[in-house]
Chain A
Amino acid sequence: MIPDVSPESRLEKVRFYRRLLYGCLAVGIVGFLVAETLEYPLVAVTVYWGGLFGMLAVKFGTSVRLFDERDRALERRASNVTMYLVGGALIVAAPAVFVLEATGRYEAPPAVSGAIFGFSMMFLLFGAVFLVLRYRP
């Protein structure tokens, strides 16, 4: 029997594998949150890693091209917009929080301090990676 390799058949396969890929990720994340809420931390992590492994297995295990240059371009644009939004918020919020804390008018909760620290580290890493890419031989 000759396999159906028409473009329509290939599109169906792409749809199927993309759904499978995102499904694995969704099951991993939702399963993690549910198990964590029910206080089964080991199950939560196992389900999460299972979902992630399933996603990677689908992505690298299939011979069908699931993503192309437009997907990568969209990812770059989304990353760019995200960096602008987070960077803008950080530039405005971080100094304000430090000044308010220094003057004793406001005590930032640990979550806020942690977020500022985390985002600052992310931009530091971004800068380092940018410099490496900019000046690599």
Chain B
Amino acid sequence: MSPKQITIAALVLLLSGCVTGGDDPRQGGFFGGVSGLSSGRYEDRVKEREARLEQLRATQRGLDAEKGSLDANRSAALARVDADRNRVAAMQSEIAALEQNTRTLTARQGADQKRVQDLQQRVAELKAGMRNQASSLDALEGSGLGDSDMDLRRKQLEAQRNGLRREYELLMQMQMELAQ
């Protein structure tokens, strides 16, 4: 192919580039733009780009909202863990008082030693159970678990805490019976 033929071929390609410009702005470029300007498509492209920009902004707003919702969920989950921690602390105080009363009971009562020993052992186990609860809640906060896993773990701990609460009430009753 001679240099002249190459020039013609290139020109044909350039011209065909002008006439094949569609409405897709991604196929624009200089030639497309010139073609659009002369044919009125430039405004269409501007509008389309604006529309696309608006779409991107809407997507961004959606993502921001989702992130905000996730952050809020996370904060709410952590707040629930915090509330649980307060409940555990309150129960630990109650158990400490029960333990104190149990010690007094031992000092006062010589009889029924077997039941007192049993009570003391169960109070010790209850204390250990509450310590586990407290440290499990601490671990939960920095665990890096997802919301769902964290929620499940919190529910497990809550169910276990309810069991410990029932044991505490039973031991309180035992302690009162022994004190009479």
Whether A associates with B in a native complex is no
